[in-house]
Chain A
């Protein structure tokens, strides 16, 4: 049984339909890349999974449980950790406080997060508002890990970051895959970086899932047609 499964999911922003029969699944320990150009429904799909967007039609299950009727905090408690687009740390809290505020019982603690991102340990008592973009991104990932998720969702985790910071984030994702067996859903535009970690890929085009398969099976024709790469 898949850890995460979406079957014929449709979603709306008011009267505007954003998703049309989106279907895909993700197994435990897999890394799935959700691909598509801007405005194709990737972040909307994430919002549907995390229950941050109304009541979608279709079926979304996590570990066999129907998510569609749950409030977002319950979805998070089931084990879905979200690193939202734009980082969105709690700027009124310090680094340590951001992590403790999200803490749930499990293996991930401040110390283990600090091992993954040593920069956070150095900035422990610094306000999140005063961190660089890269450090805020590390903090956002750390905060999601503190919920001890079984599925980590990274929405544009490396967007707008300096190359050296991007490398650190990708190295951390690779380490998470290797060491934890956590399922990861990544939204990112960098195919070369994704190729190093992703097992599977789903392409969204105008709110529809138009292709799903092994990441290695992505052809130049597909990326050219749907991603404009």
Chain B
């Protein structure tokens, strides 16, 4: 077995090496694939905080992914059309600044997660799954019927947003920005799960009565985790929209929620780097199997089944063993 920290480091190096090699070989498509993997990894890390560390099986994280995407889309749309976003007693214009868009996406997703979590967390088990799914679908159908921002057709952004003088249209530069965000998110989540909050969250997942007996309120722990989780997934949504320069209601669909969950399960539930491995594996399978057959999801399903049945720690668990006692 490889030590988990070594495996994690190797994973990050590999994720960096692939697009650099692609740059040398002038394979720009590979850089885009790696960027997708990085963004999906961020989304998975977000979900993993709720699912893996809090035991909250959310099938509605596409809502936050989509909110992040639409935060980017709406702000950029108003900036590119020179129309104000809000015109009331004051005027708020759109923006093409990535940091402002990230902040807006993160805050908007966090607020949505706080509201959805406050309602959903009053239930548990299958009811929680269904309520989160319902919220995701509500956003999906809302955006379909929202003509101001493209309705079902979605919204195109002609030029990628800007970041502090970098040429973000350059694929490797945009990859580097996304990779830096991934490192920041990994650092944040690793700190969080080892903090007293994260430990209490893990303890609440194991036994709610017991954690209450030491003065911790499970609902508050879960809600905080769900909100942070939503914010991270929203950030990924903003990056994804910027990668494609396009947002559409598909970002809110339950299939997107399912895919984010697949990243987590493939890589390893409750392992900080699990979604990184899962997202990379997903993109690889999509690319390789997608070339073989239009119905590549069938093979993906079989692999997922194998992981769930025979490697419950996901890819990381398979290679590094069960460092996490209870996953």
Q: Does A195 contact B (CB under 8 A)?
A: no
B residues 174-212 touching A (CB-CB < 8 Å): 194, 196, 199-200, 202-203, 205-207, 209-212
Say yes or no: B325 contacts A127, CB within 8 Å.
yes
Are A72 and B203 closer than 8 Å at their CB atoms? no
1/0 per residue, CB under 8 A from B, across A98-114: the answer is 10111110000000000
Is the pair A76, B215 in contact by a Cβ cutoff of 8 Å? yes
Question: Which chain A residues lie closer than 8 Å to B211 at the CB level?
Answer: 73, 90, 101
Q: What is the interface residue range for chain A against chain B?
A: 20 to 34
Q: Give residues 199-245 of B contacting A (CB, 8 Å).
A: 199-200, 202-203, 205-207, 209-217
Contact across chains for B196 and A101 when beta carbons are under 8 A apart:
yes
Contact A144–B214 (Cβ < 8 Å): yes
By a CB distance below 8 angstroms, the chain B residues around A101 are 196, 199-200, 202-203, 211, 214, 216
Interface residue SS majority, chain B = helix
B203: A residues at CB distance < 8 A: 90, 92-93, 98, 101
Contact A91–B214 (Cβ < 8 Å)? no
Closest to B327 in A: A92
B residues 121-153 in Cβ contact with A at 8 Å: none
Whether the Cβ atoms of A50 and B196 lie closer than 8 Å is no
* Nearest neighbor of A140 in chain B, beta-carbon distance: B210
State whether B212 touches A103 (Cβ < 8 A).
no
Residue A178 CB within 8 A of the other chain: no
Known A72-B212, A90-B202, A90-B203: A103·B325 in contact at CB below 8 Å: no
Contacts beyond the supplied A76-B212, A101-B203: 8 A-B pairs with Cβ under 8 Å: A73-B211, A73-B215, A73-B217, A77-B215, A97-B199, A102-B215, A104-B215, A147-B215
Please give the residue numbers on chain B whose beta carbons come within 8 Å of chain A beta carbons, in ascending order: 194, 196, 199-200, 202-203, 205-207, 209-217, 324-326
